[in-house]
Structure formats: C-alpha cells, structure tokens
Chains A and B, each alone.
Chain A
Amino acid sequence: MKHFKLRLAIASALAITASLVYAETTDITVGVTLEPPHLDPTGAAAGAIDSVVYANVFEGLTRFAADGSILPALAESWTVSDDGLVYTFSLHSGVKFHDGSSMDSGDVKFSLDRARADDSTNAQKALFSGIDTVEALDSTTVRVTLSAPNGAFIFNMAWGDAVIVAEETIADAKTNPVGTGPFVFTNWVQGDSITITKNTDYWGTPARLNSATFKFISDPTAAFAALMAEDVDAFPIYPAPENLPQFKADSRFQVLIGSTEGETILSTNNKMPPFDNVKVREAMSHAIDRQAIIDGAMFGLGTPIGTHFAPHNPDYVDLTGQSNYDPALAISMLADAGYPDGFKTTLKLPPPSYARRGGEIIAAQLREVGIDVEISNLEWAQWLEQVFRGYDFGLTIVSHTEPMDIGIYARPEYYFQYDSADFQQLMVDLNAATDPDARSTILKAAQQMISDDYVNGYLFQLASATVANANIVGLWHNAPTQATDLTAVYWND
C-alpha cells in the first residue's frame, strides 16, 4: 500500500513537470534511425545527413515540397533557353550564411563547380555531369549551360547533394555545417544527438520552433520505447510498422502514413545463370505473393508495384497484373525454362527490416516452387562490397529511395546488370525531351519495358510512417526525399 502511494506521488510529480514543460513548447526532439557520419550533404551519400540538415540548415537552388513537387528555394526564379541548354537562375537577395557572410552567385558557382570537379567526393556526381559551364553574371544571377538538354535538371538541383555552400566554411562542414537555412547547427553529441536552433536572421519565413534535437535511435525496440516514454516527440520513417496499431490506438500520438520514393525490389543478377534467362525471371515473378510480403514484412504498409516507378507519380502505370501470384504457373514456367527441379541461389539481405523480413518470406515462397534460396544477412558495407560492386549475388532485396531513378536501368554496369539497347535509347530520348507529354509517354514505355523483361521482382513502394505527438503540426506525410523538414512545424497547444 505504501509503495502504491509512493508510486502515485512519483507519477503525479512527473505529470506536473511534464505539463509545465508542455505549456510553452517551442522545442522538439525528433528520432532518426541513423546517425549521420558527418554533416556535409555534398560529401557522402548517407541519407542520414539529409534527414538532419536538408531544408533545415542547408538549402539549394530549388527544393522538394512535401508532396514531391519542386519549389524554388534560394533561386527566386529561373528561365530555360528554348534548346533546353541554358538555365538562368535569379537568386533571392539578402540571403546570409549562418556565419553572417552573404550568399551570392559566387557561392552558387563554387558549389556547382566543386561538385563536378575531378577530385569531387560528391556521392551523386552524376547529377552534375551534364553541366558544361557555370557563370556568375551578377551577384544574384547565375547562368548554367548544359552540354546536352536534361529535362530533370531543375529536379536534380533540389537534391540534398546540390545544396549551396560557402567556400570559406566548407572545409569544416563535416563537423560544423554552415548553411543558409532557417535553423543553425548548434551541437553534436556523437552517438546520441544533434541540436539545431532557430536562425533569427533567416531570409524567408522564419521557423516556429526555437530548437530541435535529432536523437539517433537505430534499434526499432528502442524507438518504440522512446516514443512510448515520450523521450522523443516525433519519429519520421518509423522503423517498426508492427507497432503502428498501438500508436494509432493511443490518443497521445498521431500516425502519419505517406509514401516514399522507395521502390522495394527483389534485385536479380541479370548476368548470372539462370537469371540471364528471362523465362526464369518471369517464372520467379509469379512465385512471389506481394500481399503476403506487405502483410508479413510491413504489417500491411506499402503499395504493390509492378515496375520500377512510384505509384503516386502521375505517370505511373500499374503493371502488377503481369506478375500476378500463381505458383503453379511459376512451376510450369520453370520447367519450360529447363529447371523442372528448380535451382539453388543466394539471397543477400542488407540490414533494414523490409529486406530481412521480406527476404525470409520470399525465400519461403520461392522454396514452394522449387527454388532453394540460401539467405545471408549482410551489413551495408558488406552489401556494397559483395552485391553492389562485386556482382556476387543471385538475389537481393533493396529499396531504391532516390526519386525518379528509372534511369539506373540504362546503366549496364549497374549491379543488377540489365543491358538493353532499347531501354538505353529510351533514356537518351527522355533526357532530350522537354515537352511534358512526350516525357510522360517515354516514361510509361520505359516502365512497360522493364516489366516485360522481368528485370527485377517488383515488390512494393515503401511507405513512410511518421509517429508523432498528437499536438505537433506541420510534419511531412510523404517522404519524397530523405528529409525532416521542420521549417513549418509547431506545437498546437
């Protein structure tokens, strides 16, 4: 009894402190699964960097909006020459870096030239490879000349890898990033958290939060516990879909479900027998029950896809019918392809749970049609080494989270090694086309082509689930890029 009273006393004390804090909340703690290796988005591929600094600390010429569309950012407006080769950007005036220096066309020229230089360590160097020259016409005007037309150029400039940085501060950006965004980098407790605070000198609409802390919680259990214990206020891209029903049932929380740019596919080594046989790949596609994978691995979260394209994109074509679940058909097709007794192959899985869980389910499904799959779980680094660069794999599961990345099918050296001259031509045409209708037609044809060739097993579009305190307003539902845009977030008291 005594204990019970004590417990009550503690509980109420906690409640009081909690409510006191609530009264005027202008700070937020956001959970993120991965700690960034460093904070220079132009120096590594880690999405973890973008999820902290994108839009908050660093800004590019353009930026992604919550729905995936492209908005102007540091560039107020731009014009494109008729031949599609010359882009002229006019920048906002009066933009200042966090160190007080002003941002002008010189910084833009520096940033773009640096990213495409020979010794560049930019992870998405290809985004800039079409740039021929960058000229600073005056302090707020920049002219970019391309060597060939590129319909996606404005889109490319919205990537985190294309943010504008200053020459004076870039050397230290890995530990002390200096950008132009509405938040200023303040502190990094390595292994634990990063804190950013409001930029009072911001050129645009100022942020409503005074400070934000990104807490690194890689373990899904820990993420669950941290949310439940209200140690973190929001968790974008929440890693354990199995817990969502509990959050939904709890009035303290809101669960925002949206989509991401992540096409989750069963990547298939197109050069490795028997996968070099399109019949085998087709047979395999019928052995896979997408809904079971979405239910089993993602607890129902995710949209089935039949090709490598995001379903929320207006140009998406639903081709799931071409690879409907039909194990009997799969068996007979395998027999036709010369594998009546199936075959053995490897399935190499990177760490995320969609891959690990999905892999187990796919292995079980393939086993049903006679394909003996040996699973090996890999760390990312091993996956990159063995699968991505070593081509040493039969199958793997990975979510391709880059937006509009169907172009990878035009790269024969790309790890799944799809080598189709027709498809490569399609992409050349796509880049040359600036007319939206023409682009749409080409994109649809491209989707159809890779679906017909059964290049990979197309599983589902990765959903994004954000769990947050019910009083938080302004978080993104979708995840068009890896970012935690806090510019418009506030507490609804």
Chain B
Amino acid sequence: MLRYSLKRLLSLGLSLLAASAVIFLTIEIVPGDPASYMLGINAQADTVAALREELGLNVSAFERYISWVGGMLTGDFGTSYTYRTPVVDMIGDRIMISLPLAIYALSLSTLIAFPAGILAASKRGSVTDVSIMGATQVGVAIPNFWFAMLLVVVFSINLRWFSAGGFPGWDKGLIVGLKALTLPAISLALPQASILARVMRSALIDTMNEDFVRTARAKGLSKRQAMWRHALRNAMIPVLTIIGLQFSFLIAGAIIIENVFFLPGLGRLVFQSISQRDLIVVESVVMLLVFAVVIVTFIVDLTYAAVDPRLRGRS
C-alpha cells in the first residue's frame, strides 16, 4: 500500500512538473504586456520600460520559469504584477471561496445522486426509474451557466430569497457564507448530480448482475439486502472514478459560475488576470487548479484501495 502510494506520488510529481512547463510556455506566448496594460493608453514608452524593469519582466523567460517553479516549491508564488501583493495571499483569499464552493457542490451532487441512483436501480423499469433517468438526461443537457441565470431570475430577482451573487465574507458567519454559495453550488451540482446518478444506477445494475450477488441471493438475502450488503460497495468503484473525473469539470464549471455570481474565487481571478495580463497570477492559479485535479485523482486512487481489498494486497 505504501509502496503503491509512493509510486503514484512520484508519477504525480512528474506530471506536475510537465504541467508547469506547459502552462509557462503557453502563457509566456500570450500576447499583451502587463506593464502597458497597467499604464493605459496615454503612457509614454519610457514609463512602460521603467515599469517592466520594476516588475522583473526584463529577464529571460527561462530564468523566470526557474524562479517561478523554485518559488512555488518553497510556497512563494511570486508577486502579482498588477496588484503588487504576493500571489500566495491572493490565492489564499480566493481559495477560501472556491474550495468551499467545490466541496458544497460536490456534497450536494453526491447527496442528490446517491439516493436517486440507488432508487432508480432498485426500481429498474418502473415509473420512478424512468422519471429519475429522464430528469438526469435533462440535467446533463442543461448548460450550468444557463441554469444559473434561471436560478438568479427566479430566486434572486423574483423571490429575493438569495442574493444574486457576491460573497459577504466568512466573518459574517457560516450560515451567511453558505447562503451566498447556495445558488452557485446548485447550478454546479445539477449536471454533476445527473451524471453521478446515472453512473450510480448503471454500476449498481451491473453489479446486481454479478455472480456474487446471485450467490448472496442463494444464501437467502432478499434483492434489497443483496443490493445494500453486496452490490453497493462494489458499485462504488466506477462511481468513485466518475467523482474523480468530475472534479476537473467542477473546476471548469466553477470558473464560469463564479463569473455569473461574481464570486471572488479562483475562477474569476484567472479570468481577470488574463485580461490584465497578470501572467504570474494566471500561471500560479492554473498550476494550482491542475495540482488540485492531480491530487484529487491521487486521493481517488487511494480510496479505491479502501473500497477494494484487491488493490490493498498489491504492494
């Protein structure tokens, strides 16, 4: 188990290094100069040059890459070109919104998807099953930003139950914070929950067709008991895979949703930084998001082992 983890960890490190190179290369060729953006349209050439000097933009790209990667390893992500504050502080602030949002959305989607999937699977072919599956088909097909727009119209503008966006800060209390994240989390969770419910259902149905479920039934377990005691845990393996894969989509979705609800999270930071050519922030945030995806994949891999003893033995 330990050796398995170490090996995975090593390849994880390598992919992160490769990702950092890709990110840096891509972003370095982005046209646009942060210094001239900051100084606007009336700035003189010597002013721009002075600012470039001050921002450390006049050393070679390779040197900047090395200092960026080196810095990240020691927790120093550099200093934002436009905000002149340490990137790590900016990310720290934003992550306090993006991370809770991701967790909120993930929990919501799991809370909806598991019962829905299990119910549909256990009543396969019934009206319940058909309606749940129909709903999930629609849920998968709805673009989350459109759904978010509809939610805002209904719950913020008309009913005025939730604020239309923005984030008051966690210092206003947990409930206030969660309330502000509710509509964004719902719009993120909808497609995720739909996919997850479908996977849950089909994994459960597949597992219910396995030989060992038949064995369990021969022991005298009812269909229900066989599902809860035997099929469910085995069905978790594909479900976990999907949860892991979805995390990447969740992050992508969050970038858009944060813009719809003007939440000051990482997604908005990346958009804003791209338009301001705050390259170092873009690089660091993208790197962080990639890191998050890779780490989640890693965690999912470890969870497999918790679910499936066959993987535990493979050390």
Contacts and interface: CB of A to CB of B under 8 A. Distances in A.
Touching chains A and B, CB distance < 8 Å: yes
Interface of A: 7, 10-11, 14, 35, 37-38, 44-46, 118-126, 174-175, 189-192, 215-219, 221-222, 224-226, 228-229, 231, 351, 379-382, 384-386, 388-389, 402, 415
B165 A226 contact: yes
B156 interface: yes
B93 interface: yes
A174 B84 contact: yes
Give the interface size class of chain B: 35 or more
Interface in B8-40: 31-34, 36-40
B169 A44 contact: no
A119 B53 CA distance: 10
B166 A380 contact: no
24 contacts: A14-B160, A37-B38, A37-B82, A45-B40, A46-B38, A121-B51, A123-B38, A123-B39, A124-B42, A125-B44, A126-B44, A190-B94, A190-B264, A217-B165, A219-B260, A221-B152, A222-B166, A225-B164, A231-B164, A382-B31, A384-B32, A384-B40, A385-B31, A385-B32
B259 interface: yes
Interface stretch (B193-201, B204-212, B268-276): B268-276
B174 interface: no
The listed residue with most A CB atoms (<10 A of its CB), out of B84, B85, B159, B277, is: B84
Nearest to A191: B264
Contacts of A229: 156-157, 160, 163-164
Contacts of B39: 44-45, 121, 123
Q: 4 closest Cβ contacts across the A-B interface?
A: A45-B40, A191-B264, A225-B164, A381-B32
A11 B160 CA distance: 9
A45 to B, nearest CB: 2
B46 to A, nearest CB: 7
B261 interface: yes
Looking at chain A's contact residues, the main secondary structure is loop
A226 to B, nearest CB: 6
A404 to B, nearest CB: 13
The listed residue with most B CB atoms (<10 A of its CB), out of A11, A46, A118, is: A46
B164 A228 contact: yes
B185 to A, nearest CB: 17
B166 A215 contact: yes
A123 B83 contact: no
Given A10-B161, A381-B276, A402 B32 contact: no
Contacts of A45: 38-43
B308 interface: no
B31 A386 contact: yes
The listed residue with most A CB atoms (<10 A of its CB), out of B34, B38, B42, B43, is: B42
Given A231-B166, A388-B41, 19 more contacts: A37-B82, A45-B38, A45-B40, A121-B47, A175-B85, A190-B90, A190-B264, A191-B272, A219-B260, A222-B166, A225-B164, A229-B163, A381-B32, A381-B34, A381-B276, A381-B277, A384-B40, A384-B41, A402-B42
Nearest to B165: A222
A430 B38 CA distance: 30
Contacts of A379: 32, 274-275
B147 interface: no
The listed residue with most B CB atoms (<10 A of its CB), out of A14, A381, A402, is: A381
B93 A190 contact: yes
Contacts of A11: 160
B155 to A, nearest CB: 10
A38 B47 contact: no
Contacts of A216: 262, 264
B264 A192 contact: yes
Interface in B75-93: 82-85, 90, 93
A225 B31 contact: no
Contact of B93 (A119, A124, A191, A219): A191
A119 B259 CA distance: 37
A126 B42 CA distance: 8
A439 to B, nearest CB: 22
B2 interface: no
B127 interface: no
A121 B164 contact: no
Given A38-B84, A222-B164, A123 B42 contact: yes
Interface in B51-76: 51, 54
B218 interface: no
Contact of A123 (B34, B47, B84): B47
B178 interface: no
Contacts of B43: 45, 123, 125
A384 B41 CA distance: 7
Nearest to B94: A191
Nearest to A389: B36
A226 B164 contact: yes
A325 B237 CA distance: 68
Contacts of A44: 38-40
B163 A381 contact: no
Interface string B90-124: 10011000000000000000000000000000000
B50 interface: yes
B167 A192 contact: yes
B132 interface: no
A225 B161 CA distance: 12
B243 to A, nearest CB: 28
